Amino acid sequence: MADLCDTILREVAGTVALKGRWAVVAQGSYARAEICPGSDLDVVLLHAGRGSAAATAARSFWYPFWDAGVVLGHAVRTPKEALALADEDLDAMTALLDLRFVAGDEGLADEVRSRGRALARKRRDRLIAALHEASSARYDRPGPLAEMLEPDVKEGAGGLRDVQALAWSGWAVADPGGWPGLVAVGALDPGDVAVLQAACDHLLDVRVALHRVTGGRSDQLAKQEQDAVAAVVGASDADALMRDLSHTARQVGWIGREAFDRLAGPARGRGGSDERDLDLGIGLRDGRVVLHADAAVTVSSTLRVAAAAAEASAPIDRATLARLGDVDGTVAWTTDDRAAFVRCLRAGRRLVAVFESLDHVGALVRLIPEWAHVRALPQRNAYHRFTVDRHLLETVVECDDLLDSESVDGDIARRARLDLLLLSAFLHDIGKGLPGDHSEVGAERAAALLQRLGLDDHGVGVVVWAVRNHLLIADTATRRDLADPETIVRFGRAVGDTERLDLLYALTIADSRATGPAAWGSGKALLCRQLFGEGDALLEDGVVGPRLAAERRAVLERHAGLLAAGELAVEWRTRDDGLFECTVAARDRRGLLANVAGVLTLTGFDIQGAAAYVDTDSGMALEVYRGVDRFGRLDDAGRRDFATMLRSALDGALPLRQRLRERIARYRNPDPGVDRSVSVHVDPDASASATVIEVMAPDEVGLLASVAAVFADLDVDVSVALVSTTGTRAVDVFYLRDAHGAKPTDPKLLQRIRATLVARLTTDYVLPAPG
């Protein structure tokens, strides 16, 4: 391709009549004979004469390319203009370094090129700083080629641009420059040149294939093109293509960073004159972390070198790094080793460079063999940006950011145990790419790994649980109805305690942010936060819904008037949401809840929610019911009837159970599709003063009355009841105390309560005759 263009330009040159010295030169990929199907063709007409004549002559060069539809980058410049531009503009400078003579006066082309290279050496520091900065910026945008799922082959960090940037830096320090120039000044090791050449060839092959496949000019290797590109370059499939590419880009990236570090760093000192100690056997020499020659390479020293490098934000010395590559990782870790590892993980963004260095020499896989499987592992998923290994590191970095943040989310993250949170982040996707559910497989792998790391049993339990459940919050928040108490109760049961909840919430935020912008919208953030809040209320106070203590106080205050009367009082109102609210105040006595709920049921009031509280000071109980007036009977007369019936039920004059039984039989929901499962959960630990019982059951007429009757029959008091109904299911939570006002803990009694509830709620909902 480059040859063909050369021929065309030379043919045109034969016909051009231009006075004075002139030359047609190639720049950019054309100069390097690296033209891809979608490349621009950069051509410059250098001339020593008048601009207008040159401009006219230039057009005869450009026309054949314009006619052929080639995208041509063209310019007409005098040598002086070309050099002045190079002095101002990085791209113009690098173009000059690669300049190649095509036609005309070869001497002129050579002269401009050598003056350009001399200028590069004169501006050494500025040029290298600019190239280094541009190279670093490519890690943020478009991002690291090795770890992006849809990388930019040209501009991505570790891509073609980095390969070229190294060659250009070479010209800033030596002549001949390029990669050998960097070797000459000790910025590259001699072996690096062959690696860079192979990388350059590989990247070019992929870029050419990409342009062929897409027929376009984009250098982004989108997922939809990866199969076709793999076929063109002869990789077995898209995953193989991406792994190979990742390997190449990691080498380029690592060599590049190393070279720029050495170029930027102070001249290498002798005998450690400016060395300071960082840790036992570890020092900082010339800005690099060094493991002293007499210190052995062990798991301990390797981890401490890594932690020192991460915390000092300094690269690990290359000779030290080479030694670390031989570390024997099969030994069990000590407490200090784990602490050093956690220090690495807590170092934020700096940990990425350190782990990449360790990975480059194979030390990371020796320390953590489980890592081998996720290295450069692509993920076929529309949300993810990074390969699995980089995603895991990004998640750790996001955790660090969260731990440093002033927000409430930060407070929650800081409540979690630091080492467990960071280890969970580091390991949460460790099961990816293996057969089976990655959360399950990952939990097994994490368990084995953490045992080798010697983590305490409690810690292993928490981290393994977090790995297994790392999608629980995100999935529940986005796919379940958070207004449904059953969702919250199930979630709370799955989490178990606030330690796990705090950790999992922080992990969810970090994991989502590390995944990609599409995975953490503000909508999802709000839902996750809401779920966390609900779960937290459940696990802290043992209640579903609003915070218990505050709610209880507010309700009692609101009805202070009713309570002050000291006798039975009933109040009705219509709520904002259209439901009826019936508030009953009465002297507290056994069976009060069962009686009120039962009489309400008889009057056709469908209970959708209820809360009952006892005011221990006055000995009064307050019960608030919300629901629907099913038969429209609750007008003024109906309300008076209710009060009369309630009095007679409390006096024992009304055969309440008999009438309820008839009613339940009559109005039972006959729909066979209704979920009739009943579950009763007894939790003696949820509250300090009472035993908490949760009942989840189909919402049937008289359900609350039936449950309350069980408590009355078994001689337990209900100090708080929270009832809520969604669709066809009800979730009822009761705080129980025994006859002496103490918390019932006798396992036999609790077992009896549970069994009685299950028995009555599953045997056709018929209450037994009063005993």
Tokens of 261: 């570090």
Reported as type and span, the H/E element at residue 106 is helix 106-122
- Taking the least distance from each CB to other proteins, the nearer of 121 and 417 is 417
- Taking the least distance from each CB to other proteins, the nearer of 190 and 727 is 727
Contact 429, 516 (CB under 8 A): no
First-to-last alpha carbon distance for the chain, in angstroms, is: 100
User: What is the DSSP pairing of strand 100-104 with strand 288-291?
Assistant: unpaired
Q: 481-510 mask for other proteins (x: CB under 8 A)?
A: xxxx--------------------------
**How buried is 125 (Cβ within 10 angstroms: 0-12 exposed, 13-18 middle, 19+ buried)?**
exposed
Angle at 682 between CA 681 and CA 686, to 5 degrees: 110
Please provide the DSSP assignment of 380-394 as one string.
--SS--B-HHHHHHH
C-alpha to C-alpha distance for 429 and 705, rounded to whole angstroms: 48
663 touches other proteins (CB under 8 A)? no
478 touches other proteins (CB under 8 A)? yes
Count of chain residues binding other proteins (CB under 8 A) = 27
Q: 397-416 mask for other proteins (x: CB under 8 A)?
A: -----------x--x-----
Minimum gap (Å) between residue 522 Cβ and other proteins: 7
Q: Distances in Å between the alpha carbon of 494 and those of 280, 450, 541, 556?
A: 45, 22, 16, 33
Max distance between CA atoms of the chain, in angstroms, equals 125
Minimum gap (Å) between residue 674 Cβ and other proteins: 15
Q: 688-727 mask for other proteins (x: CB under 8 A)?
A: --------------------------------------xx
Sign of CA dihedral 171, 175, 179, 183: negative
Q: Which of 643, 735, 658 is nearest to 690 (CA)?
A: 735
Minimum gap (Å) between residue 700 Cβ and other proteins: 17
- Taking the least distance from each CB to other proteins, the nearer of 296 and 408 is 408
- Taking the least distance from each CB to other proteins, the nearer of 532 and 625 is 532
C-alpha to C-alpha distance for 386 and 392, rounded to whole angstroms: 9
- Taking the least distance from each CB to other proteins, the nearer of 40 and 484 is 484
Contact 623, 583 (CB under 8 A): yes
C-alpha to C-alpha distance for 451 and 435, rounded to whole angstroms: 23
Minimum gap (Å) between residue 540 Cβ and other proteins: 7
- Taking the least distance from each CB to other proteins, the nearer of 311 and 502 is 502
How many CA atoms within 13 Å lie on the side-chain side of 215? 0
- Taking the least distance from each CB to other proteins, the nearer of 95 and 543 is 543
Contact 761, 723 (CB under 8 A): no
Q: 418-447 mask for other proteins (x: CB under 8 A)?
A: ------------------------------
Interface pick for other proteins out of 21, 480, 659, 668 (rule CB under 8 A): 480
Q: Looking only at residues 151 through 180 of this chain, which bind other proteins when binding is defined by CB under 8 A?
A: none
- Taking the least distance from each CB to other proteins, the nearer of 2 and 402 is 402
Minimum gap (Å) between residue 140 Cβ and other proteins: 25
Contact region for other proteins (CB under 8 A) — 27-35, 478-486, 645-653, 762-770? 478-486
585: left (phi over 0), alpha (psi -120 to 50) or beta: beta
Minimum gap (Å) between residue 662 Cβ and other proteins: 28
- Strand boundaries in 280-418, DSSP class E: 282-285, 288-291
Neighbours of 59 (CB within 10 A): 12
Q: 516-555 mask for other proteins (x: CB under 8 A)?
A: -----xxxx-xx-xx-xx--xx--x------x--x-----
Contact region for other proteins (CB under 8 A) — 34-42, 150-158, 391-399, 474-482? 474-482
Q: What are the start-end ranges of the H helices in 651-713?
A: 656-667, 703-713
Interface pick for other proteins out of 577, 651, 671, 764 (rule CB under 8 A): 577
Minimum gap (Å) between residue 521 Cβ and other proteins: 5
322 touches other proteins (CB under 8 A)? no
Minimum gap (Å) between residue 175 Cβ and other proteins: 53
C-alpha to C-alpha distance for 176 and 369, rounded to whole angstroms: 43
Minimum gap (Å) between residue 481 Cβ and other proteins: 5
State the angle between helix axes of 223-233 and 238-264 in degrees (0 to 180), rounded to the nearest 10.
90
Minimum gap (Å) between residue 402 Cβ and other proteins: 15
- Taking the least distance from each CB to other proteins, the nearer of 479 and 573 is 479
Footprint of other proteins (CB under 8 A): 408, 411, 478-484, 521-524, 526-527, 529-530, 532-533, 536-537, 540, 547, 550, 577, 726-727
